[in-house]
Amino acid sequence: MIIRNATEKDARQIAEIIVEDWQTAYRGIIDDEYLDSLSVDERHQRELKRYGQYKVAVDNDEVIGLAWNAETADEPADCEIIALYVRYSKRNNGIGKALMQNAMDSFREAGKKCMIIWCLEGNLESRKFYEKMGGKENSTGTHSWGNREYNMTSYLYKL
């Protein structure tokens, strides 16, 4: 596995991973109607415009995970992982950990001191992962998808 900057040819696989992950991991957390409305084709069009913002984990030309890292964030953090996804069938193989470590190393090299990542409050699997990776629960907020607001929790990481 290697981690590299995403290219335009990765956009379709990025879209597939995001839609699959949402429809699998968020089932029972986010309304089924919203999850069932997600489309790989629509998501692909969105990712064609922003693929350059991702780092991807690749194994034999297959994108198996991705991270969207930002060198800006709201206080108290100065950088953020906006999104972190691992192809559902490839989970529990160290891919998420490698993507997190890659982001943290890049942020440290850029002189950043504190990273934040937000997570759906009901996504217990991801929350456990973020805590295992050293994140400290920080603040809460909400985000809307479809016609509903969902509770979010943030985790801070000292770099």
Q: Which CATH superfamily is domain 2-158 in?
A: Gcn5-related N-acetyltransferase (GNAT) (3.40.630.30)
Between helices 40-50 and 11-25, what is the axis angle to 10°? Answer: 130
pTM exceeds 0.85: yes
Q: Name the residue ranges covered by the structural domains of the chain.
A: 2-158
Round the average pLDDT of the chain to a whole number and report it: 95
Q: Which residues contact 74 (CB under 8 A, 6 or more apart)?
A: 116
For residues 114 and 72, is the Cβ–Cβ distance under 8 A?
Answer: no
Of the CA atoms within 13 Å of residue 2, those in its CB half-sphere come to: 5
- 93-125 pLDDT, tens digit per residue, is 999 999 999 999 999 999 999 999 999 999 999
